[in-house]
Structure 1
């Protein structure tokens, strides 16, 4: 029996998921810890890894990641507050939003939170703030768009010619202008790019990192000393959603970077990463109960309580974000072809639109009412997604740890049942 099978059996047999709590998210903290270790083992000591908070903004998960040695990358004021609540120090946080308000910028510079500048208008605001806080400990740099092209998923590609993110390096005379900007501002000590995301090849990501490394060298040479001391190479390492295999690995990415940008591995620069999905995704699952089943047009349909309110990306962009599912009996035993016939199945969610589907026309052992479905690789951008806060009931989240034979499951976010919500509502005629 696999660790995942033991986890779901434990959750069912201890009545964590039942008739009232019909969908839960589970994070495997031991596996999460191993993933962070894999990241650190793959790179030399001048690399420091931060976690993209948007990938899993649960305070308990972030606390664990902090204990495992990761910093925090935030992209909104809310994420900053969550990171601070999880115990991150100011100097372990980096703020990356492309829409920072003056208040956001003031907070960062006043308290020594690092940040990446998105555009020249933001630079003008920071120029004013640096007069007010000349001794800030914030490490500040530009986010650069190397404009090197798109990956397979256009909506998550951040280095296209017209990307909304960062300073367009290849437009006109922008490169020389940026070099002059750095020379005039000794407090600009970092350069950032985020070239990759799901659907991007490792070689494309490495090309973006090469661009900012070459730019840092050119800036330092032009100034006459090493003013740029940090390279923030972003995250975006793709995740394999079609099997249990972890691919690509952090080691594979490090090998590509080492070949393309060997200077990163010489200790000349501090290198920061901002991995999110690659850290969290494969260490979390969603478990939901099958409420009803039926046949329509020759297709078997299993209706569950996990859909667009939790699995938002998959429901709206199923070809870009496919997910694997596994069926389980009410007792927690995995359903196999030995127990029931394998038939074309749609696993549906509870929302009232036709696209609310976890998977379509998948060959699965026949699901029945009161069975359970495990949705794999959902530890990032799914059950911690903010859309879930508008769902009824709100999904409960649990952390699992311990040896396979002595699993410990602990609630880290309580779910409101329908009865809880109704009890809080105030009705008026």
Structure 2
């Protein structure tokens, strides 16, 4: 009598209780985004690859009201807020490493939003808004909001006779401008770009009462031999040479300009001159170098330079001039006479530029005498229409019209 073989019955596990990828092992992990269950790290990676799933929890996914008061919901909210904070800190560090001023960009964006909504004192710059913005600054800065302290700087520059042309926001020229107005000292602090003889560019900040010689000595300190020689000459009682006396004259001029600036009242404005000379002093070298101010917005490809005296302060050097955001000063070993006479030079003096391009530029400038009320008498080329017979004028016009039509 045959006995049936002993058979073992195996329980079959449904596929829903197994790994969704390999279907062989019970799952251990659940995807935070799509809730797919996997058994191992290779299966989890394969799931992300096949399903194009990021594996990151979606903070905007729908949750029922009963799930909001759970511990997992609090953990999700905390992780989300912590992730946002870490992203902001990472972005700030990245901007700081790249040299981008985040605070200035944010303040400019806020000012721009206020201008669009019609709020804030900078919504309508002009006489009725409390902000005295120069015409050149308003023209170049159109569509660009004024940040904190910018209106005071533009007003101070306008009172000093300097036209500041603003570069578009985000440009390197605008980012590098740290010029501002000191309300306590009541003076301007200029950012000055130096173009050295080796064509390297250096930017430093100076007050408007600083002389060009002192400013350049801060950028490029003189050798120790020159400093020691200057002290020895003073101790011997000998008169220093023209190059050594530059620094002393600059210090005296700086003290005079500072005293004059402190005694001036807040309502007084310095007299503005168009294309006034930078300084009445003679253009002399400082440490065998000459200083030139770059003239902005010219119609030539060559840089147009304006000779400056090393004893001049930034107040006198910039009066009646136009700068793009902040002044640029070239330091060259060539004198103005060499630059003017030498052919094939890389630079062009303002004197020669005005000789060739001056009439075209002056034709675009309106007559300032008419605006100031100067010239109450009629001009030399004007005609007094009060003594002209109107009937004769009519007859001449009719003759011209009918005569021209008959000839045609």
Instruction: Say which structure is richer in strand.
Output: 1
Asked if these proteins are the same fold (TM beyond 0.5), I'd say: no
- Bigger Rg over Cα: 2
Under a length normalisation based on structure 2, what TM-score does the superposition of the two structures give?
0.22
Under a length normalisation based on structure 1, what TM-score does the superposition of the two structures give?
0.21
